[in-house]
Amino acid sequence: MAEAIRVYHAFRSPYSRLGLHVLKRAGLTCDVIPFTGPPDGIPFADPTKNAPKLRYYNQDAPRMTMRMGLPIRPPKPFDVDYSLANRALVAAQADGFGLDYAIAVSDARWGDGKNVSDLDVLKDAATAIGWRADAVDAAQSDDDVADRLGQMREMIEKDGVFGVPFAVIGDQKFWGHDRFDLIAETLAG
């Protein structure tokens, strides 16, 4: 039996989207964990706050997305409240739809330019993968989802996750969607 793959993912990151697509195309499954920021006391290296990094990001993200044959459309607005999408993702994971839901919402954001803080966008993503749209609404006030998010925050701390996408398999860590190819080469097939 293959070791479990934990993937830390952020809807804000186009690279998170690409990493999930790599795993899905390789036929791998994983637990998708919303990245709610680096461990306490570790600064977040926000590419939108660093002009040279942002210029590179604006060049590289489309290049890598097109290389994978995926559509790309910059989301408007860019920064939104991701808590609704994260809560829905936690519920989707519990129902066995985590990877597919994370991809559907990421594709809505980065492929279609949609606002993933809009519950209708999140419900459309649920419907598209065969998950219940009403589960998205229910997740927003579910105490179990809130508890699970707290546990996931502890996992971020324990695993020392500093950016996304980030995968953990046993004691091995992989940062960046391009490293997910190593996971696929090693575990797929």
% of the chain surpassing 70 pLDDT = 98
Is the pLDDT assigned to residue 5 strictly greater than 90?
A: yes
Residue 84: name the closest of 129, 149, 31 by CA: 149
Q: What band does 11 get if pLDDT is binned at 50, 70 and 90?
A: very high
User: What pLDDT, in 10s, does the model give residues 88-123?
Assistant: 999 999 999 999 999 999 999 999 999 999 999 999
Is the pLDDT assigned to residue 179 strictly greater than 90?
A: yes
Instruction: Return the bridge partners of 9, or none.
Output: 34
Domain ranges of the chain: 6-187
Is CATH 2.40.50.140 the classification given to domain 6-187? Answer: no
The two three-digit tokens of residue 70, written as one number: 């995926």
3-state class (DSSP) for residue 130: coil
User: What pLDDT, in 10s, does the model give residues 125-174?
Assistant: 999 999 999 999 999 999 999 999 999 999 999 999 989 999 999 999 99
Q: 172-175 and 166-169 as β-strands: parallel, antiparallel, unpaired? A: antiparallel
Is the pLDDT assigned to residue 51 strictly greater than 70?
A: yes
Dihedral over Cα of 144, 145, 149, 152: its sign:
positive
Is the pLDDT assigned to residue 47 strictly greater than 80?
A: no
pTM: 0.94
